[in-house]
Amino acid sequence: MAAFGSFALIIALALAAYNLLAGALALRLIATGQPARISPERLADTARRAGIAGFAAITAAAFALVWSVFANDFSITYILEHSNRALPAAYKFAALWSGQEGSLVLWAWLLGAYGFVLRLTHKTDVKLYAYAGVILAGIQVFFLAVLNFAAPPFALLKGVIPEDGNGLNPLLQYPEMVIHPPILYLGYVGFSVPFAFALGALMMRYPGEKWIKITRVWTMVTWLFLTCGVFLGMHWAYAVLGWGGYWGWDPVENASLIPWLTGTAFLHSVMMQEKKGMMKGWNVGLIFSTFLLTMLGTMLTRGGLVSSVHAFAESSIGNWFMIFMVIVAAVCVFTFIYQRDHLKNEQQVESLVSRESSFLFNNLVLLAVCFVIVWGTLYPVLSEYIEGTKVTYDAAWYNRVFVPIGLFLIFLMGVGPLLPWRSTSFKSIRRNFVLPVIALWVVVIGCVIAGVRPWHDGVFDQGHFYALVAFGLAAGVLTAIGSEFWRGAMVIARQSRRNYFWAVLQLIRRNTRRYGGYIVHIGVVIVVIGLTGSAFNRSVEKELTLHDKLIIGPYTLEYVGPTQDTNANYDSEYAQLNVYRGGKNQLQMTPGKRIYLVSGQPQTMVAIHSVIGWDLYVVYEGTNPDTGQPIIKAFLNLLVSWIWGGALVMILGTLVALTPQRQGSEIRGQGSGLTALEVGKL
Partner 1 sequence: MTETQGFIAGGLLLVALLMYTFWPENVFASQSEKTRLEYLLERKDQLNENLRDLNFEFKAGKYPEGDFETQRAQLESESARLMAEIEILQRA
Closest to partner 1 by CB, 201 vs 528, is 201
Is the CB of residue 72 less than 8 Å from the CB of residue 152?
Answer: no
Question: Which of 51, 63, 61, 210 has its CA nearest to residue 117?
Answer: 51
Q: Helices marked H in 33-99 — which ranges?
A: 40-70, 77-82, 89-98
Question: Which uninterrupted H or E stretch holds 316?
Answer: none
The piece of 3-11, 142-150, 163-171, 555-563 that touches partner 1 (CB under 8 A) is 3-11
**x/- contact string, 558-597, with partner 1 (CB under 8 A)?**
----------------------------------------
- Give just the sign of the alpha carbon dihedral 385, 259, 172, 242: positive
Cβ atoms < 10 Å from Cβ of 347: 13
Is the CB of residue 365 less than 8 Å from the CB of residue 408?
Answer: yes
Query: Angle 73-77-79 (CA atoms, 0-180°, nearest 5)?
Result: 45
Closest to partner 1 by CB, 348 vs 672, is 672
Minimum gap (Å) between residue 10 Cβ and partner 1: 8
Is the CB of residue 594 less than 8 Å from the CB of residue 572?
Answer: yes
Please give the residues from 8 up to 47 whose contact with partner 1 meets the rule CB under 8 A: 8, 11, 15, 18, 30, 41-42, 44-46
Closest to partner 1 by CB, 274 vs 621, is 274
Does residue 390 interact with partner 1 by CB under 8 A? no
Query: Angle 486-489-494 (CA atoms, 0-180°, nearest 5)?
Result: 120
Phi, psi of 451 (to 5 degrees): 110, 0
The strand pair at 607-610 and 570-581 is best described as unpaired
**x/- contact string, 510-529, with partner 1 (CB under 8 A)?**
-x------------------
Closest to partner 1 by CB, 124 vs 563, is 124
**x/- contact string, 649-678, with partner 1 (CB under 8 A)?**
--------------xx--xx--xx-xxxx-
Minimum gap (Å) between residue 297 Cβ and partner 1: 31
* Dist. CA 535–CA 466, nearest whole Å: 8
Minimum gap (Å) between residue 235 Cβ and partner 1: 38
The piece of 7-15, 173-181, 440-448, 578-586 that touches partner 1 (CB under 8 A) is 7-15
Is the CB of residue 608 less than 8 Å from the CB of residue 616?
Answer: yes
How many of the chain's residues bind partner 1 (CB under 8 A)?
A: 67
Out of 53, 108, 325, 577, the only residue in the binding site for partner 1 (CB under 8 A) is 53
Does residue 207 interact with partner 1 by CB under 8 A? yes
* Dist. CA 479–CA 483, nearest whole Å: 6
**x/- contact string, 452-491, with partner 1 (CB under 8 A)?**
-----------------------------------xx-xx
Is the CB of residue 372 less than 8 Å from the CB of residue 254?
Answer: no
Is the CB of residue 157 less than 8 Å from the CB of residue 73?
Answer: no
**x/- contact string, 94-133, with partner 1 (CB under 8 A)?**
----------------------------xx--xx--x---
**Contacts for 20 with CB less than 8 Å, ≥ 6 apart:** 47, 134, 137, 138, 140, 141
Angle between helices 100-120 and 280-302 (to 10 degrees): 150
Closest to partner 1 by CB, 571 vs 666, is 666
Please give the residues from 405 up to 424 whose contact with partner 1 meets the rule CB under 8 A: 418, 420-424
The piece of 269-277, 313-321, 460-468, 607-615 that touches partner 1 (CB under 8 A) is 269-277
Question: Which of 622, 613, 557, 617 has its CA nearest to residue 588?
Answer: 557
Minimum gap (Å) between residue 392 Cβ and partner 1: 46
* Dist. CA 117–CA 131, nearest whole Å: 15
Residues engaged in binding partner 1 (CB under 8 A) = 1-5, 7-8, 11, 15, 18, 30, 41-42, 44-46, 49-50, 52-54, 56-57, 60, 122-123, 126-127, 130, 206-210, 274-276, 418, 420-425, 427-428, 431-432, 487-488, 490-491, 511, 663-664, 667-668, 671-672, 674-677, 679-682
